[in-house]
Amino acid sequence: MDLKKLEEKIKKESYFISSLKKEMGKIIVGQSNLIERLLIGVLCGGHLLLEGVPGLAKTLSVSTLAGALKLDFRRIQFTPDLLPADLIGTLIYNPKTSEFKPKLGPIFAQIILADEINRAPAKVQSALLEAMQEKQITIGDKTHKLPEPFLVLATQNPIEQEGTYSLPEAQIDRFMLKIKVGYPDREEEKKILERVAVEGLKETQKVIGPREIKKARDAVDLVYVDERIKDYAVNLVLASRDPSELGLDELDRFIEYGASPRATIFLITAARALAFINQRGFVIPDNNIKVK
């Protein structure tokens, strides 16, 4: 497919982006950076980690996204006493048939909000790893496929560490992006006050569904990536491992370990999604910079 035809296809398949942003903007004030990265996660099928203090609409943003996409949404509150079975499900014995039958847990949804994910112990995090990487769950001796699309959008509070557990590096590596959610400015704060305390929140209307998401993902995979862009992404990741090799000796003492090959893959896939959002059929260096 030549670049001109590809550009036309991208524009055709990305018709819903402005409507989706507008629909989310009816509920979420500001936070354009957050909304854009949520869309990148949806278009790439990548899991996201949202970090911010309480009250910044992290949970509301995820539920609003699920409503606008008409996807099955589950919110799971992670706590220190949460068990793996509470997340993925377990086997239930049926005395009438003398058989064990699987009772599927709340993880079997299209969008999972793992609220305060760092409050759950390591055994729960381990149960989540298979779902995030393989998009399947094993209960007993049977493997169950998770629904498509499947996304884990996790939140954590950076200022309160009491009663929390550090996420394993293997799990952090499976998140495509870490999104830092900041405070609104003065004008946004006033709009939030008026929208919530005076007008009341509106109900989210569906913009697209799973079928349109699948078509959009197929179009994202067609976005052209030049060899020089690939080399640029590889250099960014290599600089995180051995900066002195790229002439950045002053950074070497700040780095304990570098990014994994997943980072290279995520950089390119996220850059493609950002080009799609901007209705462009090719990736430019700025796309890599914005999602690093």
Domain boundary among 206, 221, 249: 206
Cα–chain-centroid distance for residue 284?
22
101 and 230, same structural domain?
Answer: no
Structural tokens at position 51:
């970090």
- In this structure, of 69-83, 152-166, 172-186, the range with the lowest mean pLDDT score is 152-166
DSSP at 284: -
214 and 152, same structural domain?
Answer: no
User: What is the arithmetic mean of pLDDT over 204-218?
Assistant: 88
User: What is the arithmetic mean of pLDDT over 6-23?
Assistant: 88
253 and 139, same structural domain?
Answer: no
pLDDT confidence tier of residue 163, bands split at 50, 70 and 90:
low
Phi, psi dihedrals of residue 139, rounded to the nearest 5°: -120, 115
131 and 60, same structural domain?
Answer: yes
Domain boundary among 206, 222, 244: 206
- Helices 32-44 and 210-220 meet at what angle, rounded to 10? 90
Residue 201 has pLDDT above 80, yes or no: no
102 and 77, same structural domain?
Answer: yes
Number of domains in the chain: 2
pLDDT 10s digits, 218-257: 999 999 999 999 999 998 888 888 877 777 777 777 777 7
Q: Which residues contact 86 (CB under 8 A, 6 or more apart)?
A: 105, 124
233 and 257, same structural domain?
Answer: yes
Structural tokens at position 203:
């109900």
What rounded mean pLDDT belongs to the chain? 85
Residue 289 has pLDDT above 50, yes or no: no
Residues 57, 182 contacting (CB under 8 angstroms): no
- In this structure, of 48-57, 71-80, 193-202, 219-228, the range with the lowest mean pLDDT score is 193-202
278 and 174, same structural domain?
Answer: no
The DSSP secondary structure of 86-131, one letter per residue, reads HHHEEEEEETTTTEEEEEE-TT-SSEEEEETGGGS-HHHHHHHHHH
The CATH code of the domain that includes 260 is 1.10.8.80
Coil/strand/helix, residue 200: coil
Residues 110, 150 contacting (CB under 8 angstroms): yes
Whole-angstrom distance, CA of residue 240 vs CA of residue 116: 28
Domain boundary among 187, 206, 225: 206
Residue 220 has a pLDDT of 92
User: What is the arithmetic mean of pLDDT over 178-202?
Assistant: 81
Q: Is 210 left (phi over 0), alpha (psi -120 to 50) or beta?
A: alpha
The CATH code of the domain that includes 174 is 3.40.50.300
Q: Report which residue type is found at 222.
A: L
Whole-angstrom distance, CA of residue 139 vs CA of residue 190: 49
Residue 117 has pLDDT above 70, yes or no: yes
Residue 43 has a pLDDT of 92
Whole-angstrom distance, CA of residue 106 vs CA of residue 269: 28
- Domain, as residue range, for 275: 1-15+208-292
pTM, entire model: 0.84
Q: Which of 229, 254, 231 is nearest to 241 (CA)?
A: 254
